[in-house]
Amino acid sequence: MPGQMSWLPRLGSGETKMLHLRLEPHHPWMPYTLMPTVAVPDYKVPQGSKGWATYQKLQKEGWTIVPTHEARKIVFASLNH
């Protein structure tokens, strides 16, 4: 089963977003860089989106995109439990 993707803020970067992934809906979100089995190298574009190449690959493989505002609700809910 394909996983889920979302654009979430990078840790310690304020609002700069990067691609986050999870294999199952009950798994925590992880930066794409921590999932080398599915991630591909970023394009060499100055100021380019971190994870865009991986996003394009996984979208073709049927992964689901979760809007940032929905993924953030999930992250904050898990922090409060």
> 31: which 2 tokens?
């930066």
Question: Which pLDDT score is estimated for 73?
Answer: 77
Q: What are the residue ranges spanned by the domains of the chain?
A: 4-79
Is 13 strand, coil or helix? coil
Tell which wins on pLDDT, 13 or 41: 41
Instruction: Please state, in angstroms and rounded to a whole number, the distance separating the CA atoms of residues 32 and 6.
Output: 10
pLDDT band at 76 (very low <50, low <70, confident <90, very high): low
Residue pointed to by tokens 């803020």: 9
Question: Which pLDDT score is estimated for 50?
Answer: 92
Instruction: Please state, in angstroms and rounded to a whole number, the distance separating the CA atoms of residues 10 and 81.
Output: 22
Nearest CA among 3, 44, 8, 45 for reference residue 24: 3
pLDDT in tens, 18-70: 999 999 988 999 999 999 999 999 999 988 889 999 999 999 999 999 999 89
> 70: which 2 tokens?
């929905």
